[in-house]
Amino acid sequence: MAAQTTTIETVTVVRPLKIISLICLLISLILLIICLSTTYWLRTQSFHTGLFRECVDNTDIGLMAPVAGAPLPGNCHGINRKAPYITAVAVMNLIALAFTFFAFIANVLGLKSNDLHRKHIFYKAAFILALFSVLLMLVALIVFPACFFVGMSSYGSRVWEFDWSYGIAWGAMLFCFGALLLLICDKEHEEVYYKEKTIYNPPSEFA
C-alpha cells in the first residue's frame, strides 16, 4: 500500500495597499524636503520668503518698493525679524519630516519581514508615526497664514500671496494623510493562505 505524506505550506500575500502607502510616504518625504529648502512660502512683488531665508529678486521693483528689513536685490539672508511663529512652523515641519522618514522605514521593514507578528508591529509603528506627522503638518499649515496676517505690519503694507512652497507643503501633508488612510484600511493582518500538498510514496517492493 502506498504511503502518503502531507505537508502544509504557509503563503503570505502582501496587500497592494501597503505598497501604495509606502509610495505615498516617499512622495510626502520628498515634498517636505522641497518645501523646507525653498524660499517661496510667501511672495509680494520681487520679495519672497521661506521658513529659514528671505530673498529679493534682482529686478527694478525690488529697488523701487523694498520690504522693510529685506536684503538687497539679488540677495538672500536669514529671517531676522521678530516672527517666532516662523520658527515654530519650521520646527514642526522638521519633526514631521523625521516622523515621515521613520514611518517610511517602518513600512519597508514591515514589507520585508516574514514574521506576521513583526509585520503587525512595524505597520502599527508606521501608522502612529504617519499620524503624528500629519497632525504636525496640519497645525503648521494653519498656524503659518493665521500668524502671518496678525503680524503682517512688520513687512509693511502691500499685497501678499502664498507661493508654491506653501502649496507643496500641503501636498506633502495630503500624501502622508493618504498613506495613513491606507495603513488604517489594513493595519491588522496580512492575507495568509495555507496550501496543502500530499505526496504519495510507492511501496518498497515497487521501489
Tell me if 174 is assigned to some domain.
Answer: yes
What pLDDT shows up at residue 63? 61
Residue 98 lies in a domain: yes
Determine the structural domain holding residue 96 and report its residue range. Answer: 3-38+84-188
Residue 204 lies in a domain: no
Whether 129 is covered by a domain: the verdict is yes
Domain of 119, CATH number, reads: 1.20.140
The answer to whether position 198 is within a domain reads: no
How far is it, in rounded angstroms, from Cα 136 to Cα 139? Answer: 5
Residue 6: its pLDDT value, please?
Answer: 56
Domain-embedded: residue 74: no
**pLDDT confidence of residue 193:** 46
- Please report the pLDDT score of residue 32 as a whole number: 97
pTM: 0.80
Identify the segments of the chain with pLDDT beneath 70.
1-15, 60-66, 154-157, 186-207
User: In the chain, pLDDT over 90 holds for what percent of residues?
Assistant: 47
Q: What is the pLDDT of residue 74?
A: 81
**Confidence at residue 78, expressed as pLDDT on a 0 to 100 scale:** 85
pLDDT at 201: 55
How many independent structural domains does the chain possess? Answer: 1
pLDDT reported for residue 11: 52
